[in-house]
Chain A
């Protein structure tokens, strides 16, 4: 593992940590619903099966990244990450303005519990099986997003290991807190985190995509702070504009 300075690794670690935190909290809610409803065996089986699939994907696809030319990697990942980051930022702006409701982990927990019971009634099949599949699907889907985030913020800049550590720290943090409180982590300010991650990802990506196109940014890495400030200001201004227009319409 090549040594990198903390100054270089910190943005990747923190972006991976915060983004992964949001995803892991969502997966934890489903696994908790499964575990509470049917016990921890199907929940653990589904979770570990999904983690196994994720590990397999990383082992198979990870080495391929080293074979892709750096500029092409930056451009392709940059475009995918731009779609991902801007999508998050758009949704966070809309949630912040109140246009769409905030994600509620307690409601998600209740909905998943109800959904599992309904599925068992409708299909007349083993609830353990359905519960295990639900845990598998949740961990796999949210895990794929975590893997993508890690690759996106780490690949192409030699920061895969620091980004992976950031994601791993998020998993450990959610597991520890979740094991202690033993209920959905509804007090995690998910939209604030999504807003922050959307801003960071969008800023990173504009920077990297530009580099992929041969742009020599003035100030090099320092220009990232400017990009973060610009995306943050634009997101907050848009949310404020939407809130004000709603208030004026209501009058």
Chain B
């Protein structure tokens, strides 16, 4: 059972190492999908939002983790 638990933890860790990062990415994709598929927003605008959103999420996640570790 320990083996299965370790494997499950490893798999979960592949995608959920940082819960807030995961939540933010899922929320971003959902928002962009809703805007382009349900509200007829120009797909290219949705694509640009996806790119910029990912970059902002990345920067925020790195700065947040650094703060949490008392880095700055």
Contacts and interface: CB of A to CB of B under 8 A. Distances in A.
Interface in A51-91: 75, 78-80, 82-84, 86-87, 89-91
A215 B11 CA distance: 30
Interface string B18-54: 1001100110010011001100000110110011001
Interface residues of B, number: 38
B7 A137 contact: yes
Interface in A207-251: 209-210, 213-218, 227, 230-231, 234-235, 238-239, 241-242, 245-246, 249
B69 to A, nearest CB: 6
A87 B47 contact: no
Interface of chain B, main secondary structure: helix
Nearest to A247: B72
Contacts of B14: 83-84, 87, 144-145, 148
Contacts of A218: 44
B19 to A, nearest CB: 11
Given A87-B15, A87-B21, A242-B71, A213 B63 contact: no
A172 interface: no
Contact of B50 (A133, A210, A234): A210
Contacts of A29: none
A80 B25 CA distance: 10
A68 to B, nearest CB: 17
A94 B54 contact: no
A99 B55 contact: no
A206 B21 contact: no
Contacts of B26: 79, 83
Interface in A121-164: 133, 136-137, 140-141, 144-145, 148
A133 B63 CA distance: 38
Interface residues of A, number: 47
24 contacts: A82-B54, A83-B26, A87-B18, A87-B21, A93-B58, A97-B66, A97-B71, A137-B3, A137-B7, A141-B10, A144-B7, A148-B14, A206-B50, A210-B46, A213-B32, A213-B36, A213-B37, A215-B43, A231-B58, A238-B59, A242-B62, A242-B63, A246-B72, A249-B72
Interface of B: 3, 6-7, 10-11, 14-18, 21-22, 25-26, 29, 32-33, 36-37, 43-44, 46-47, 50-51, 54-55, 57-59, 61-63, 65-66, 69, 71-72
Given A83-B22, A94-B65, 14 more contacts: A79-B26, A83-B16, A84-B14, A86-B57, A93-B58, A93-B62, A97-B62, A144-B7, A144-B11, A209-B50, A213-B50, A230-B55, A234-B58, A235-B58
Interface of A: 75, 78-80, 82-84, 86-87, 89-91, 93-94, 97, 99-100, 133, 136-137, 140-141, 144-145, 148, 202, 206, 209-210, 213-218, 227, 230-231, 234-235, 238-239, 241-242, 245-246, 249
